[in-house]
Amino acid sequence: MNQHSQPPTSDIASGATPGITPDTTPDTRYKNPGYLMNRASRLLMRRAERRLVKFGLAYAQVPVMVTLKYSEAGLCQKDLAALMQIEQPAMAELLARMARDGLILREPDPKDRRSSLVTLTEQARQLLPQARQTLRQGSSEALADFSEAEAEQFIGLLQRVVANLENSAALD
C-alpha cells in the first residue's frame, strides 16, 4: 500500500473515544467550571424536587414564594419576572400553577387596572419555612465534607462568579 491508500487511523486505535472530542472527555469535563456548576445545580435541583413534592411544591415555586413573602403589598407579574430573571410567559405559567395549587392570590392593582398584584396565601406562608429548610438541607449535604472556612471561601467564589456573569451580561 502506498501512503495514499492506507486506511485512516482509527479513533479507537489512537486511544480516543469515538464521538467524544477532547473538550468533552470525562477528565476535561470535571475540570470545566461551567460544566461543574451546571451539574451541581441540577443535582441540587433534583434532590430538592424529590423532597418538596411531599409539601405539594416545585423547586421553581420556592424563590417566587420567598420574594412574595417580603412584598406585603404584592408584586405584578412583570416585576416578579424581572426579579426572578425569567421571561414573562414562563412566569405566567408558573403563577397559573401556583394559583391553581392555592399558593398565590391575584388582586387588581389599584394603581393600574390592566395589572394584578400577586400575593401569597396563608397556605403558602405556612409551607415556606419547611420548603426553605428543605433547600438548606440540600446545601448542607452538598458542603458536608467542607470545613467552615472552605464553605465560606466557596460561597465567596460563587458570589464572584455570579457578579462576573451579571456584569458581563450587561455588555451583551
The CATH number of whichever domain residue 133 belongs to comes to 1.10.10.10
Please give the Cα distance from 134 to 137 (Å, whole number).
Answer: 5
Q: Could you tell me if residue 54 is inside a domain?
A: yes
Stretch (H or E) spanning 116 = strand 112-120
Q: With contact defined as beta carbons under 8 Å apart, do 116 and 77 qualify?
A: yes
Domain residue limits at 52: 30-171
| Predicted pLDDT of residue 22 | 54
Q: Total structural domains in the chain?
A: 1
Q: Could you tell me if residue 21 is inside a domain?
A: no
Q: Could you tell me if residue 17 is inside a domain?
A: no
Q: Could you tell me if residue 121 is inside a domain?
A: yes
Q: Could you tell me if residue 56 is inside a domain?
A: yes
The cell numbers describing 134, all together, are 428543605
Please give the Cα distance from 70 to 130 (Å, whole number).
Answer: 17
Q: Could you tell me if residue 15 is inside a domain?
A: no
| Predicted pLDDT of residue 111 | 86
Q: Going residue by residue through the chain, which has 172 residues, state the pLDDT in tens, using 9 for 90 and above.
A: 444 444 444 444 444 444 545 556 667 777 899 999 999 999 999 999 999 999 999 999 999 999 999 998 899 999 999 999 999 999 999 999 999 999 999 999 888 888 899 999 999 999 999 999 999 999 999 999 999 999 999 999 999 999 999 898 777 6
Determine the 3-state secondary structure of 86 from DSSP.
coil
Largest CA distance in the chain: 86
- The count of residues in the chain is 172
- pTM for the structure as a whole: 0.77
Stretch (H or E) spanning 109 = strand 104-109
Cell numbers 501512503 correspond to 3
Please give the Cα distance from 35 to 99 (Å, whole number).
Answer: 35
Q: With contact defined as beta carbons under 8 Å apart, do 134 and 113 qualify?
A: no
Contacts 24+ apart (CB under 8 A), 153-162: 158/37, 161/33, 161/37
